[in-house]
A = this chain, B = another copy of it.
C-alpha cells in the first residue's frame, strides 16, 4: 500500500502500521559509508544526484513506508549568512556564533528557490523516482533547535548561551527566532511545492526547556511555521525528544502528527493528546541492539499499546551509526507482520 504512511498521518484505516526511521539513510549502512569515503556530508547534501542516491538506499534495503530526503538540519544557516562545517568528533561548528542584535540583523531571510535550490532539485528528482511507490518526507529544524546551534556555535549540553540570550535579551532572541521561523516556513513550503508529500519539523532539543520557557520563548515561533505549513494539506510531523512535559504545548503549536520519544509511554501520549492528531514513535533506538527476542516482544507490545489508527511506527530518535542493518530489516518486517 503505497500511501500507508500518508493514510496513518491522516488517521485513515491502514492495512498495517507504516514505519520509517530518522537517519534511515546514514552511517549504519555500508552503502552510505562507501559514498562517504569519496564525499563529505555537505557534498552529498549539496549534490542532488548524491542526495537522491542516498535517500533511496534504505528504500532498496528495507520495507520502510516513506523516504526522507537526505539533508542536514543546518543547511539553511549558510545562505542566511552563518556558515558552518562539520568537524570530526565535534559535530557542527558555526564559524561566527550569533549572539547580538547586530548579528541577528545581519542574518538574511532566504529565498529557498534560489538559496537552497539543490534541496528542491533533489526533491523534484526523488518525486520522479518514487512517484506512486513511496511518499517523500521533507524536513527542517525548528527555531529553538536551529538557534541553539547558531548561538552556542555548535552542539551544547546546557544551552547556557541560548537560554541566557532568551532571558537577558528577549528582543534579540525573538528577532532571531522569528527570522529562523520565517526561513523554516518558507523552506518547508518550498519543499512541499517541490513535491514533498509530508514534512517533519525537528525540534530535537526543545526538551531542554521548561514548559514556561517553551510557551514564552519558543511556541509562538513554532506556531508561525506550523500554522502556515498545515494549510498546504500535507501531513505535518512535529518532533522532539525529552518532551514529556511539552506534548500538549507542541500539539497546540501545530502539526497533524506528534512525535513521541521512548520516555513517554505511547498510550499516555494518546490519552493526553486525544484523537485529533496522529502519533509517531517511540522505540528506544538502543533496543535495536537487543537480542531479537526482546526486540520482537517490545515492538509487539508497543504496537498493541499504540493501536492501529493514527499511528506511525518510528524510533524515538535517529538510528545510531553502530546499528546492525539486519536488525533494521527484521524490525521493518516484524512491525508490518504484527500489525497486519
Task: Tell me the bound Cα distance from A268 to B264 in angstroms.
Answer: 16
Q: Is A92 an interface residue (CB 8 A)?
A: no
Q: A262 CA to B214 CA in the complex, in Å? A: 12
Knowing A242-B242, A286-B158, A286-B159, say if A210 contacts B164 (CB, 8 Å). Answer: no
Q: Are A168 and B320 in contact (CB-based, < 8 A)?
A: no
Q: Are B263 and A210 in contact (CB under 8 A)?
A: yes
Residues of A220-263 whose CB lies within 8 A of B: 242, 244-245, 262-263
Which residues on the B side are within 8 Å of A264 (C-beta)?
A: 245
Looking at A65-73, A127-135, A189-197, A288-296, the stretch in contact with chain B turns out to be A288-296
Size class of the contact patch on chain A: 20 to 34
Partner of A245, one of B159, B164, B263, B291: B263
Bound CA–CA A262/B212 (angstroms)? 9
Q: 1/0 contact trace for A264-299 toward B, CB 8 Å?
A: 110010000000000000001111011100100010
Q: How many copies does the complex hold?
A: 2
Report if A213 contacts B (CB, 8 A).
yes
In the complex, A211 has a CB within 8 A of chain B? yes
Report Cα–Cα, A164/B284, bound state, in Å: 11
**A286–B160 contact, CB under 8 A?**
yes
Nearest B residue to A214, CB-CB: B263
| CB proximity of A245 to chain B, nearest CB, Å | 5
Check: A11 CB closer than 8 A to any chain B CB.
no
Q: With A284-B210, A320-B158 known to touch, is A164 a contact of B262 (CB < 8 Å)?
A: no
State in angstroms the CA–CA spacing of A213 and B263 once bound together: 10
Contact among B167, B289, B291, B320 with A291 in the assembled complex (CB-CB below 8 Å): B167
Q: Are A207 and B263 in contact (CB under 8 A)?
A: yes
> How many Å lie between the Cα of A322 and that of B284 in the bound state?
34
Contact residues in B for A10 (Cβ distance below 8 Å) = none
Is there contact, CB below 8 Å, between A286 and B242?
A: no
Instruction: Give the interface of A toward B (CB within 8 A).
Output: 158-160, 163-164, 167-168, 207, 209-213, 242, 244-245, 262-265, 268, 284-287, 289-291, 294, 298, 320, 322
Write 18 A-B pairs (CB below 8 A) sorted by A numbering. A158-B285, A158-B320, A160-B286, A163-B289, A164-B290, A167-B289, A168-B289, A209-B263, A210-B262, A210-B265, A210-B284, A211-B265, A212-B298, A242-B242, A242-B263, A245-B263, A245-B264, A245-B265
